């Protein structure tokens, strides 16, 4: 048994606690959260800083970890995607070694759960033995070609079957993005996930070109598809922004995680909330800056009571896989977002979005959320010097 205290405890599920003590089983399960006067001070580990639950990274591409630093920053999404395709073929030992290092780095950075996009089986072995809990999103795309939907599913069946389900890991079939998934493939994904307690993730409104395609069938995606000799003859503009195509073709009864949302407008947020009460939003601030040199307007999400979560995206599009660094970036560029809000995005909201809130996301008796120690300034704000120390 351990007893841990710090200057302040942020349970996330309740108000911050001064002079609190977290009592833990040796395996990290919380027995109680008490006041210091209930314990002999000599039996308590005391730390300077604040204690928060372990972080939840709701969007990552672990299998792309070998591509760190290979793709230029600030190019925009379409050139970025072309570079990713060009660099994917590497020696397998390098790919697996990079995956191992990235998983360990995330663990050392206080991350306890990850929503991870997989197009291959490269990460399955690491996930099976990792200290991190994974929700693996097996991502499918047919480039808006109804005729390719069945073949696409058959291609990904072995990828899905081989994903890790040990140690509390789960998996689901998911669509890549509105601009790459046909209506037929959307229908197949709905059927494959029907009745299961899983989350469905989809990239959303990451670039202005995405909305232009759906509004008027113009913009950069026409040339992008032409470059890969993929016809868009079957596709017709909907006259609505891209997220509406996703809403019309996804299951509102599944937990749904919209990722990036860089161009998402208040009316898009409201339409999504009207569509489902099981909706979450993932922001990957550093990746948005890396690729598009822009951030979402977080005020729009705050104004509409959106349940935000935090992702890191991949080492192809980020300098590191750290939820803390994502929080620091948001605080630096949109400082009106309070720390208390950011920590909820980074923990409990993420745990709920991945279906892991039974054991992760908040400091409560019966949970095993992990404990992170952060050093903030005197006003309880993140600074460039803020670090994370994993306590449990």
pLDDT of 88: 63
pTM over 0.75: yes
Which residues of the chain carry a pLDDT beneath 70?
Answer: 88
* Digit-coded pLDDT (tens) for 200-236: 999 999 999 999 999 999 999 999 999 899 999 989 9
What pLDDT is attached to residue 89?
73
Give the 3-state DSSP-derived string for the chain, with helices as H, strands as E and coil as C.
CEEEEEEEECCCCCCCECCEEEEECCCCCEEEEEEHHHCCHHHCEEEEEEEEECEEEEEECHHHHHHCCCCCCCCCHHHHHHHHHHHCCCCHHHHHHHHHHHHHHHHHCCEEEEEEEECCCCCHHHHHHCCCEEEEEEEECCCCCHHHHHHHHHHHHHHHHCCCCHHHCEEEEEECCHHHCCHHHHHHHHHHHCCCCCEEEEEECCCHHHHHHHHHCCCHHHHHHHHCCCCCCCCCCCCCCHHHHHHHHCCCCCEEEEEECCCCCHHHHHHHHHHCCCEEEEECHHHHHHHHCCCCCHHHHHHCCCCEEECCCCCCCCCCCCHHHHHHHHHHHCCCCCHHHHHHHHCHHHHHHHCCCCCCCCCCCCCCCCEEEECCCCCCCCCCCCCEEECC
Could you tell me the residue ranges of all domains in the chain? 2-51+378-390, 55-359
Residue-wise pLDDT tens digits, 75-134: 999 999 988 877 767 899 999 999 999 999 999 999 999 999 999 999 999 999 999 999
Architecture of the domain defined by 55-359 = Alpha-Beta Barrel (3.20)
pLDDT (0 to 100) of residue 321: 98
Q: Residue 90: what pLDDT?
A: 87
């Amino acid at each position: 048994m351990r007893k841990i205290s710090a200057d302040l405890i942020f349970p996330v599920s309740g108000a911050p606690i001064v002079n609190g003590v977290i009592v833990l089983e040796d395996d990290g399960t919380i027995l109680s959260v008490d006041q210091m006067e209930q314990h002999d001070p000599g039996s308590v580990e005391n730390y300077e800083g604040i204690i928060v639950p372990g972080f939840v990274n709701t969007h990552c591409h672990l299998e792309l970890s070998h591509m760190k630093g290979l793709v230029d920053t600030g190019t925009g999404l379409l050139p970025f995607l072309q570079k990713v395709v060009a660099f994917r073929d590497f020696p397998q030992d390098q790919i697996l070694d990079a995956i191992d290092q990235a998983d360990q780095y995330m663990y050392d950075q206080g991350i306890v759960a990850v929503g991870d996009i997989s197009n291959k089986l490269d990460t399955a072995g690491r996930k099976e033995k990792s200290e991190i809990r994974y929700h693996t999103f097996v991502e499918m795309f047919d480039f808006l070609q109804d005729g390719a939907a069945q073949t696409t599913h058959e291609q990904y069946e072995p990828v899905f079957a081989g994903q890790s389900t040990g140690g509390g890991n789960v998996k689901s079939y998911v669509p890549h993005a509105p601009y790459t998934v046909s209506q037929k493939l959307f229908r197949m994904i709905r059927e494959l996930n029907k009745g299961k307690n899983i989350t469905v993730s989809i990239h959303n409104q990451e670039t202005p070109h995405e909305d232009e395609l759906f509004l008027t069938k113009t913009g950069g995606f026409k040339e992008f598809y032409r470059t890969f000799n993929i016809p868009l003859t079957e596709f017709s503009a909907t006259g609505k922004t891209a997220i509406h195509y996703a809403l019309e073709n996804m299951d509102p009864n599944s937990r749904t995680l919209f990722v990036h949302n860089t161009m998402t407008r208040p009316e898009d947020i409201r339409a999504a909330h009207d569509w489902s009460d099981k909706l979450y939003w993932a922001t990957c601030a550093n990746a948005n800056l890396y690729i598009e040199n822009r951030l979402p307007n977080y005020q729009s999400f705050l104004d509409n009571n959106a349940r935000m979560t935090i992702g890191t995206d991949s080492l192809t599009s980020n300098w590191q896989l750290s939820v803390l660094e994502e929080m620091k970036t948001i605080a630096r560029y949109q400082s009106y977002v309070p720390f208390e809000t950011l920590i909820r995005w980074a923990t409990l909201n993420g745990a709920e979005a991945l279906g892991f809130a039974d054991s992760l996301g908040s400091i409560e008796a019966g949970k095993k959320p992990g404990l992170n120690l952060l050093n903030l300034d005197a006003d309880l704000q993140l600074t460039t010097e803020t670090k994370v120390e994993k306590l449990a």
